[in-house]
Amino acid sequence: MIDIHCHILDGVDDGSYCLAESVEMAKVAAESGTEQIIATPHANAPGRGELPWGDMLVKKLAGLNKKLKEKKIPLTVCPGQEVFCTGDILRLLESGEIITLNGSRYLLAEFDFYSRAESILDRCDMLLSAGVVPVVAHPERYEALKEDEHTAYRLKRRGCLLQLNSGSLFGDFGRSSERAAHGFLAEGLADFIASDAHSPYVRTPFMADVHEMVSDMYSLDYAELLFSENPGLLLRDKEIHPFY
Ligand SMILES: [Fe+2]
């Protein structure tokens, strides 16, 4: 499996607290069958003071990969960010303050949980017009997508991709998010499932149980598409075709 959304870099956001905890997260992920993780520290979130991309994050990433090699944990970590989409997103991309997932055309995009549908769609259109494909992080957690399933179809028709959180499928973010996540799966609207892990203890990067659940409830092929095939295409910057 490949996890495209994980707060595994230490001391840069509300994820891992220290390098030892990051190593522990990698261990948990590797034990559940994950071979690659894209590190996605929060970026550009107003009032939260997250780091722009730069030397400090590059060093953290290299330090973590070195440590994993030393400890013989069979997992590599690639660069990325979870980007809060504001109106100046294209300028920030151009200046290098924010980056896409592993240097691909795909950007992990987050929004305010109470954003209006039109505002999410506008920001996505802005990215698409510049050739950047938004991967909407945890759509099942946004009110606009929970209230009206057409919003998900409108995003997909434009060419956006949807990434569900593994925890949502077990109800970790409440009943309405659980229902929405299963709704997206049942309609074939989801493109990825990722952990959005923040720690090795709660909201962890362990995904084997969710892979099993998706295989049982939907199909093994669908699980493979969401946990391995589409993430693999993303990592290599290849085109991803919507399932629905
Ligand atoms: Fe996240």
**Number of C-beta neighbours around residue 221 at 10 A:** 11
Of 6, 2, 80, residue with least CA distance to 34: 2
Taking the model in full, what pTM does it have? 0.97
**206 has a pLDDT exceeding 70:** yes
CA of 5 to the centre of ligand 1 (A): 6
pLDDT digits (tens, 9 = 90+) for 102-114: 999 999 999 999 9
Q: How far apart are CA 188 and CA 234, in angstroms?
A: 18
pLDDT at position 51 is 85
User: Given a cut of 80, is residue 244 above it in pLDDT?
Assistant: no
**Cα separation of 52 and 152, whole Å?**
29
Q: Where are the domains of the chain?
A: 2-235
* CA 59–ligand 1 middle distance (angstroms): 21
143-152, 158-167, 210-219: least confidently modelled range = 143-152
Digit-coded pLDDT (tens) for 177-204: 999 999 999 999 999 999 999 999 989 9
CATH number of 2-235: 3.20.20.140
- What CA–CA distance (Å, rounded) separates 38 from 65? 12
71-88 pLDDT per residue, tens: 999 999 999 999 999 999
Q: Output the CA 104–ligand 1 centroid distance in Å.
A: 18
Q: What is the pLDDT of residues 8-28, one digit of tens each?
A: 999 999 999 999 999 999 999
The single-letter DSSP state of residue 241 is -
